[in-house]
């Protein structure tokens, strides 16, 4: 069983989208017994809040439902998860800062490392932009999550 944690700043746009997109892909491929997902934010701005309504609408246009409530990343997450996937460089660095001995650095990756079509190195934060930004993030995360799933799921069960 692979345990994945998606991390952005506030845990209301990008990381819950990645979590729910991955769950959507896992369900479509019948891999629920192989991969479990969660999401968190490096900051505590939105703890307990549901995903952003604009992000939720963008996901719904693709047939994906966004569930969950925002929570903040904790050092215990280093032990609980096999892979910790940062949405951007700032999140990546904030996560690694909580691991000064670099004991868990091998678990922390950038989500865009798994993109197959998109050339992006980071998932842009759509929070202060228009609807197009939310749609773009959903499409980018669909690509990245599909690539990620190909690396964490057992081939003989795909």
Site of tokens 């190195």: 121
C-alpha separations of 47 from 7, 38, 111, 135 in Å: 13, 14, 22, 24
- The whole model's pTM is what? 0.96
| 33-92 pLDDT, tens digit each | 999 999 999 999 999 999 999 999 999 999 999 999 999 999 999 999 999 999 999 999
Q: What are the residue numbers of the active site?
A: 8, 14, 125
Q: Is the pLDDT of residue 158 over 60?
A: no
- For the beta carbon of residue 28, count every other beta carbon within 10 angstroms: 9
Angle at 144 between CA 143 and CA 147, to 5 degrees: 90
Tell me the per-residue pLDDT of 124-145, one tens digit each, with 9 for 90 and over. 999 998 999 999 999 999 999 9
Rounded (10°) angle between helices 131-152 and 14-29:
50
Which residues, 6+ apart, have CB-to-CB distance to 119 below 8 Å?
none
């Amino acid at each position: 069983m692979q345990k994945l944690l998606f991390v952005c700043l506030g845990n209301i746009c990008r990381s819950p989208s990645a979590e729910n997109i991955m769950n959507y892909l896992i369900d479509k491929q019948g891999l629920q017994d192989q991969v479990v997902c969660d999401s968190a934010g490096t900051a505590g701005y939105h703890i307990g809040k549901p995903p952003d309504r604009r992000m939720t609408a963008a996901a719904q246009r693709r047939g994906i439902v966004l569930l969950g409530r925002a929570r903040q990343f904790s050092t215990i997450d280093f032990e609980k998860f096999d892979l910790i996937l940062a949405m951007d460089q700032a999140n990546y660095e904030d996560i690694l800062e909580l691991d000064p001995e670099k004991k868990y650095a091998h678990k922390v990756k950038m989500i865009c490392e798994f993109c197959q079509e998109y050339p992006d190195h980071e998932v842009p934060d759509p929070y202060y932009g228009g609807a197009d930004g939310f749609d773009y993030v959903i499409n980018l995360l669909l690509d990245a999550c599909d690539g990620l799933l190909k690396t964490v799921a057992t081939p003989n069960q795909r």
